[in-house]
Structure 1
């Protein structure tokens, strides 16, 4: 699989920070070329330099994924300069941390344009080029919040719910057409990304992910694994994601009340927000400062570097064989003892 991946051309939106940046690093070690789609020039230059140092051809492109024409033009440039696109990863997003009553209509609209329509535009650009070749993979980077809304993130949750529905509809259509193009989605847990330092926030304290928190490298490994195994309709990353989705399916009303009671405090750190902090809703966070934010946020000490659930999920076939084989050996041993 690694040798095959080394010939791949991969497009990653939201490539300069957080999960997108971590995905670039994963592919830089194994793909032939990576196209980096993001808005901030400083982040693009730093990300491209990292990819090239790892031995991968990098193409940084300043793109606002909310603009369909920009996305389509970028896809044309990728194919002209790097070759046919094999994998397209939709990871770009923005958000507003505030109660719904404190989010302006234009702010809510902007989040939806990036987090939902940005995925639609990227998917459409990929499909237009993959369908005639009857091959290619599209990965939608989702979240446990695609199933379970939480307070203070109404625009983001609404967008992720919509992406989930879009993904399911598109997958059915591709199956109906017997298309060789695959689409899959990765549902992520809370991740230690720089977004909590640059997201537009009206909270009194510094926003933080709902614990437990995982490092973006864990999420990136899940995304790359999903791209390698796109026949699975969905991949879950993190035990907390599994627990959240199961709890919401079984007792959503209980989860509502739990989040109503604890969700506000759990999404705020014990430090007050800096009034001068950047906000990337309308412009890239690195635009004014020229700062490269990288993949990780400020919660390193509280973040997990691995997920046993992800490890098991990626080996579910082998583990099932091992369990069945172990059960058979145990049954044989019991039977032998009885005969003796």
Structure 2
């Protein structure tokens, strides 16, 4: 009888301790729940519009695939994090912790890898358009990102697990989802160190790729005079040597239709590159606060529970900023692509949707 009474008292004390810890996590829970709701609505619209209203061009396949990954994050990853924030001290068994942590890591890793594949695709299409053999199909890139993400995230099933936390009251032991306590304490340091290194490497790669794209687009924009006349550089040189008027349209007719198509093509390619650039930047920067906080916690041994309640709440929200990456993409598409906005308005107004033939509903999109 005394054992049962002591067990009940320990469970009651553990529950009150959990509620006190969950109270600190409420801002992070509200933030994550808001991101999950917005992500479900926004990516649901992207999934429908780009998957069923726009033709499956390379840009559309990438955007559609990103929306699927974001939906997986909103359905599995974020609810798992919310559950952990709500019950930080009475999590439960180790197997659910391993499974959901691995699924979450695989989803977020595939998102980053797919963005890297997209940047590579844009780089060769714009900087080396004649070397099309280097460009793989979007479906192969998506499959490659998913397979590689599963391989990279598979160690998480071994590394993560439940961890026991001794409370101030004797006999009361809390359980949380973290790194397996049977592992060496250096494993978390190495793990988050690698994550931070990969995030920095991804950022540098994306900076190099999109800076190169911007330089090429700028250089081509300076050659618009050559494109507008339909005369190549050697012809211009010969014309200048013979003092022949450059605007002699009778002898050098201006192919206005080809010029319009060329300008439209370059505009749409630049617009697509801007979209993927902003998507990549928002994704990478949304992960950095979380990785930095986890790295500081595991390397320096800083326990934010020893700080004020306000600091704990701020750190809790900052550790969930990676959820922003699942919300930003629909907002970016809505700002840049007017046809996406139009389809969303038609969907909510129950009007008959239009069937577009190109990525952004305009001819000349690549």
TM tier relative to shorter chain: under 0.3
Normalising by structure 2, report the TM-score. 0.22
- Could you tell me the TM-score, scaled by structure 1's length? 0.23
Higher RCO (C-alpha under 8 Å, 6+ residues apart): 2
Larger-gyration structure (1/2): 2
Relative to its length, the structure with more strand (as a share) is 1
Task: Report which of the two has the higher share of helix.
Answer: 2
